[in-house]
């Protein structure tokens, strides 16, 4: 094997090993968070469960907050592939919509899918985020801010496709969409009220259409 090929092969092996280590840490962290909450997960316990040293956790991902964010990102996407959310099938389907109603139906489906993936984790984080841990509160705020940014991108696409009606203020509509698609609303209806995910998706679609049609 040529020297250059050997170096490339060794680098690929190291990258894959690092990815497998990161995946093992994230999987262990997800289980710990869902079972024992934010306070129950420490880097030392996580390292022991994942079969690595605490320093490996820090080197691979970072501290506790970075680990939790990594778990959230993987659950949000459904995998750890380096593919932006905007390039995933459900978002491509939304962009391919031919009418505001079909666009909002696709967006409601995305919201349902996201809740089904990350709802349990968000429940843990939102519950803990109201306490005294400043790092967790900041993490929850970051996640919420990212969701609001995503709402804004969706409204940009809708506006470019058909235009937002002049009677609907863009800022007010953004507030309404951010609220309607919040995990707290989904959790109330699906987990606490016993709605099926399909019922929630249908309700959300109708609410989004009504918000767009509001004077």
The CA distance from 185 to 166, in Å, is 27
Interval 13-67: pLDDT, tens: 888 899 999 999 999 999 999 998 888 889 999 999 999 999 999 999 999 999 9
pLDDT at 3: 55
User: What value does the mean pLDDT take over residues 160-179?
Assistant: 87
Q: Is 81 helix (H, G, I), strand (E, B) or coil?
A: coil
Using alpha carbons, list the distances in angstroms from residue 183 to 50, 178, 189, 193. 29, 10, 10, 14
Phi-psi sector, 24: left (phi>0), alpha (psi -120 to 50), beta: alpha
- Domain assignments of the chain as residue spans, ordered by start: 1-81, 83-215
Interval 140-154: pLDDT, tens: 888 889 999 999 999
The CA distance from 198 to 97, in Å, is 20
Interval 187-211: pLDDT, tens: 999 989 999 999 999 999 999 999 9
Confidence of residue 178 (pLDDT cuts 50, 70, 90): very high
Domain 1-81, CATH among 1.10.150.170, 1.10.10.60, 1.10.3720.10, 1.10.10.10:
1.10.10.60
């Amino acid at each position: 094997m040529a020297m250059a090929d050997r170096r490339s092969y060794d680098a690929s092996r190291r990258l894959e090993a690092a990815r497998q280590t990161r995946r093992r840490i994230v999987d262990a962290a997800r289980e710990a968070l869902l079972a024992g909450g934010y306070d129950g997960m420490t880097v030392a316990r996580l390292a022991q469960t994942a079969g690595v040293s605490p320093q490996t956790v820090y080197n691979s991902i970072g501290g506790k907050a970075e680990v939790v964010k990594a778990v959230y990102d993987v659950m949000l996407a459904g995998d750890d592939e380096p593919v932006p959310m905007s390039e995933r099938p459900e978002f491509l389907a939304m962009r391919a919509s031919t009418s505001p109603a079909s666009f909002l139906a696709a967006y409601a489906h995305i919201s349902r899918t996201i809740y089904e993936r990350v709802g349990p984790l968000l429940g843990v984080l939102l519950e803990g985020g109201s306490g005294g841990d400043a790092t967790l509160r900041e993490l929850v705020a970051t996640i919420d801010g990212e969701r609001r940014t995503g709402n804004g991108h969706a409204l940009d696409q809708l506006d470019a496709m058909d235009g937002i009606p002049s009677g609907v203020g863009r800022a007010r509509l953004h507030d309404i969409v951010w609220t309607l698609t919040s995990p707290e609303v989904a959790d109330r209806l699906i987990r606490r009220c016993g709605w099926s995910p399909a019922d929630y998706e249908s309700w959300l679609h109708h609410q989004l259409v009504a918000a767009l049609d509001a004077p």
